Structure 1
């Protein structure tokens, strides 16, 4: 078996910058493909109701949402994802961001993307994985932690995707 080296951080930055610059329709399709590659069932094409992928893993409902924006994801996106995950009755929420998530600030320690999801009455009732494109391509610990709650990675060929569609 041929072992391929992980891309350099410069190559990963270039990949991420290229992906976040594509049009929104292509980003939506990429979200569905990432869901499939992560072993989930991709959401519908077009208006998907905030669902890029779902699945059942070890008895837990997994909800996947991909937001490949050029800016860090903040509270409004967290609110939207929370609503969709609640409708799906998700036990595990996995979010894939283009470049990252807002963080709490010294003046507002309850702010930030993750706090917006967690600071709710049921904020401890779900497991949360916040991934970035860099995590996916680096295959780092954040990515490995998320994989523990997923069915397993799939390689996708163009033929596989076309047959699935």
Structure 2
């Protein structure tokens, strides 16, 4: 039985800024979402957030996949930033030092799945030449997709209740 070394088959071809190009033809834009604290919003705020998400996501191109991923990490709080000069400050410092808490990070991925034309055997064979018109066509599709996603992100950021930032390429590799 032949063994396959999965580390030699990296699913990522290239990362440019926050844009990931996968080896299956997908283009993925990666963002980190800063959500408001729990129980800090009113019913009207929830309604406003829902409306912003609805308007932003309905303007995306057909076939766009939106993936939201929540990551929870158990960590220990370091109370190094807390002052410990007075009695009350020392008590607070000692109380929180080494306490476990859950760090929450939220990521949002916009995925443009590969074009059906790329499934054609003439684009899969590495020895055949790919026509320049196909590359230009895909380049235009990717550019319009990136533009539409950035418009959606800026619309959500203008709501001022949620902040969405691009994930750096080094962080994408770590994830």
TM-score relative to the length of structure 1: 0.25
Structure with max Cα Rg: 2
* Structure of greater relative contact order (alpha carbons < 8 Å, 6+ residues apart): 2
